Structure 1
Amino acid sequence: MAASFAGFLRDERGATSIEYAFIASLVSIVIVSAVTLIGTRLNALFEAIIPGLTK
């Protein structure tokens, strides 16, 4: 049992996949945050423009 557990700890076959998944999740978090921030600022810009268009 201890030998199989030690072998499991030395096995690195899935490490690259996990690293790529981690990087992809970080990139997606950054993209979602940026889009949310841009959307909020763009909405504020249009809210400021609307009163000038309705006069």
Structure 2
Amino acid sequence: MTRNRASFAIFLRDERGATVIEYGFIVSLISLTIIASATQIGQSVLGFFQSVADGFNR
């Protein structure tokens, strides 16, 4: 019984899983930031090329 209790206490003190979750959260926030930035840049580039195309069509 004490062995089970000791194993459970070690399990509760183990923080490796929490660290992995924190790193995963950080990576997901960075990924969302990159996606949002790429979308904004894409819209700007699209507008630029659309204005260039309109200039050729006149």
- TM-score under structure 1 length normalisation: 0.74
Post-superposition shift, 1:42? 0.5
2:17 counterpart residue number: 14
**Which residue in 1 is equivalent to 2:26?**
23
Q: CA deviation at 1:53?
A: 2.0
How far did 1:9 drift? 5.5
**Residue in structure 1 matching 2:42, options 15, 23, 39:** 39
Q: State the alpha-carbon separation in 1 of the partners of residues 27 and 16 from structure 2.
A: 19
Q: Which amino acid aligns with 1:37?
A: Q
Question: In proportion to residue count, which structure has more helix?
Answer: 2
Larger Rg: 2
Percent of residue pairs bearing the same amino acid type: 46
> CA RMSD, aligned part only?
1.8
**Which runs of 5 or more residues in structure 1 are unaligned?**
none
